[in-house]
């Protein structure tokens, strides 16, 4: 069955919208009424049919619009794609991962035919059909990593493993939450995560690095992370703060339901076969407070999480300039009733 894709924008008039089905499958991140930063890694196994966890790489109604948004960002700033010279094997590894996953998970939309090194790729939603020789850059319109990243949702960083560490040496990041892939390129794992408050002191990233260094091919893992944003803008990079920073002071109690979005990243990590690098996908999902509140349990829990959130974490997540209007909007929806542990909507 062919999928239906939205015509929508993530800038300007902000026509991004979620269907009821998209709201229901939103990867709500809060199991309890309080939140503290943690690694929260689990195996990236297949989840319930229709969920964001069903397939290794999720494709949803926003696919075409997100790919168009990526092309816009790259046309304005191509430094959002970083590829250090020694990462060519990892580029081909990532292309293989994405193409095989999409073609196996969504065969009506993506087809891949392999005859030795001769590959035939069809992407129906984007109207792309190419034949190329795997391993031969000259047979593609551009380098393999950029080619396939223009056809997948979410940001991707590929980390080279060397000297008992992981280095961010390859990346396509056009929808990041206030950071810069150009600035972080070449950084070690702990350098990349240094800004997270209290986590280094708690040893969180020491444990995460130790775990990831032993990640096995064929056994990917996942975690979630979250922020909030004013307007459904994917590109909130450090480089464009002058464009989106003023959004944060435009939220009020009256407009927060439609204007403020919970923004959740589904992060998956895959060991790659030839390069031994680790591909780190950062898929962003956004839902407005009004849509979230169609499931009262979610709205109540978000109110409690925000009220109890550590001030340093609130600052790190960029919430302070609009947190109060959000709380003012959520408070009438929370009757104080006990909520069982879990992320389920009902």
Catalytic residues: 223
Coil, helix or strand at residue 22: helix
H/E element holding 31?
none
Q: Give CA–CA dist 222/241, Å, rounded.
A: 29
Q: Give CA–CA dist 184/117, Å, rounded.
A: 34
Coil, helix or strand at residue 166: strand
Cα three-residue angle 73-78-83, rounded to 5 degrees: 125
Instruction: Write the Ramachandran bin of 101: left for phi over 0, alpha for psi from -120 to 50, otherwise beta.
Output: alpha
- Under a CB-based contact definition with an 8 Å cutoff, are residues 151 and 166 in contact? no
- Tokens representing 276? 């031994």
Q: Is 210 exposed, middle or buried (0-12, 13-18, 19+ CB in 10 A)?
A: exposed
Q: Give CA–CA dist 213/278, Å, rounded.
A: 9
Q: Residue length, the chain?
A: 346
Q: Give CA–CA dist 7/338, Å, rounded.
A: 40
Q: Give CA–CA dist 19/164, Å, rounded.
A: 45
Cβ neighbors of 279 (< 8 A, separation 6 or more) are 90, 93, 94, 97, 156, 157, 158, 159, 269, 270, 272
- Under a CB-based contact definition with an 8 Å cutoff, are residues 53 and 261 in contact? no
Q: Give CA–CA dist 6/4, Å, rounded.
A: 7
Strand ranges (E), 46-203: 81-83, 110-115, 118-123, 128-133, 155-162, 165-172
């Amino acid at each position: 069955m062919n999928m239906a894709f939205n015509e929508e924008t993530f800038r300007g008039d902000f026509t991004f919208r979620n269907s009821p089905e998209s709201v229901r499958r939103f990867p709500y991140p809060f199991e309890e009424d309080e939140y503290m930063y943690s690694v929260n890694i689990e195996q990236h196994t297949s989840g319930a049919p229709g969920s964001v966890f069903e397939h290794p790489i999720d494709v949803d109604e926003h696919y075409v619009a997100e790919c168009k948004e990526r092309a816009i960002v790259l046309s304005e700033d191509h430094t959002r794609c970083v590829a250090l010279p020694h990462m060519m094997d990892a580029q081909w590894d990532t292309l293989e991962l994405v193409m095989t996953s999409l073609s196996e998970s969504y065969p009506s939309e993506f087809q891949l035919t392999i005859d030795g090194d001769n590959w035939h790729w069809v992407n129906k939603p984007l109207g792309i059909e190419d034949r190329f020789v795997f391993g031969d850059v000259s047979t593609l319109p551009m380098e393999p990593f950029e080619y396939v990243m223009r056809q997948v949702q979410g940001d991707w960083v590929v980390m080279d493993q060397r000297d008992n560490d992981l280095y961010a040496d390859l990346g396509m990041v056009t929808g990041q939450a206030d950071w810069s892939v150009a600035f972080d390129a070449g950084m070690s794992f702990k350098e990349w995560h240094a800004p997270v408050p209290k986590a280094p002191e708690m040893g969180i990233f020491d444990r995460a690095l130790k775990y990831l260094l032993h990640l096995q091919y064929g056994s990917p893992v996942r975690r979630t992370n979250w922020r909030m944003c004013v307007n459904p803008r994917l590109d909130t990079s450090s480089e464009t703060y002058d464009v989106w920073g003023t959004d944060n002071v435009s939220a009020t109690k009256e407009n927060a339901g439609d204007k403020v979005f919970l923004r959740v990243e589904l992060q998956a990590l895959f060991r790659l076969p030839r390069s031994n690098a680790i591909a780190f996908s950062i898929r962003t999902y956004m839902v407005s407070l009004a849509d979230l509140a169609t499931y009262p349990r979610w709205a109540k829990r978000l109110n409690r999480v925000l009220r109890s959130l550590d001030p340093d974490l609130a600052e790190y997540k960029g919430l302070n300039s609009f947190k109060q209007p959000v709380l003012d909007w959520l408070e009438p929806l929370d009757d104080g009733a006990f909520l069982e542990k879990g992320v389920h909507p009902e």
